[in-house]
Amino acid sequence: MPAAAAAVAVALAGAGSSWALGLAGGSLVAGVIGWVAVGRRYESWGYAERKDDLLIRRGVLFARLSVVPYGRMQFIDVSAGPLERAFGLATVRLHTAAAATDARIPGLERGEAARLRDRLAELGEAQAAGL
């Protein structure tokens, strides 16, 4: 998104008229703000494997921290959209019986995603608890 904004800025600056220059400035500012926002959002993501549960942290404006016990995981899915595939990334998502649980870890390297999936499946099986 920031990259697109920068491209628009350059294109408009090339056009040369005064309103185009104004727009170019605006989109440049938007690009910088976007860049910072994306950076902060990236920083906000984090996860930690603990003994009995997985911690997942995310969000800048709304900071969320989820605790998902391994025994409560029903299944784990790994997905990779076209953009993620192009960069060799994948998203790991955990599902519990609760619809409100939103535990996902995006942007993992393919290998790390596979390792995490296997590790979580193993731990989930060892600690599985009924409803």
Among candidate residues 7, 24, 3, the one with its CA nearest the CA of residue 15: 24
3-state secondary structure (DSSP) of residue 35: helix
16-24, 38-46, 61-69, 81-89 -> range binding other proteins (CB under 8 A): 61-69
Nearer Cβ to other proteins, position 86 or 100?
100
Stretch that binds other proteins, among 8-16, 41-49, 64-72, 80-88 (CB under 8 A): 64-72
Phi, psi (degrees; rounded to nearest 5) at 86: -60, -30
**Is residue 85 near other proteins by the rule CB under 8 A?**
no
The secondary structure element, H or E, covering residue 21 is helix 18-44
Residue 51 phi, psi dihedral angles, 5° rounding: -65, -45
The values of phi and psi at residue 47, to 5°, are: -145, 155
Q: Contact with other proteins (CB under 8 A): which of 29, 36, 52, 122?
A: 52
How distant is the alpha carbon of residue 51 from its chain centre? 24
For other proteins, give the closer residue by CB, 95 or 119.
Answer: 95
67 is a contact residue toward other proteins (CB under 8 A): yes
Q: Report the residue from 68, 90, 108, 113 that binds other proteins according to the rule CB under 8 A.
A: 68
* Residues contributing to the site for other proteins (CB under 8 A): 52-53, 61-69, 71-72, 96-103, 129-131
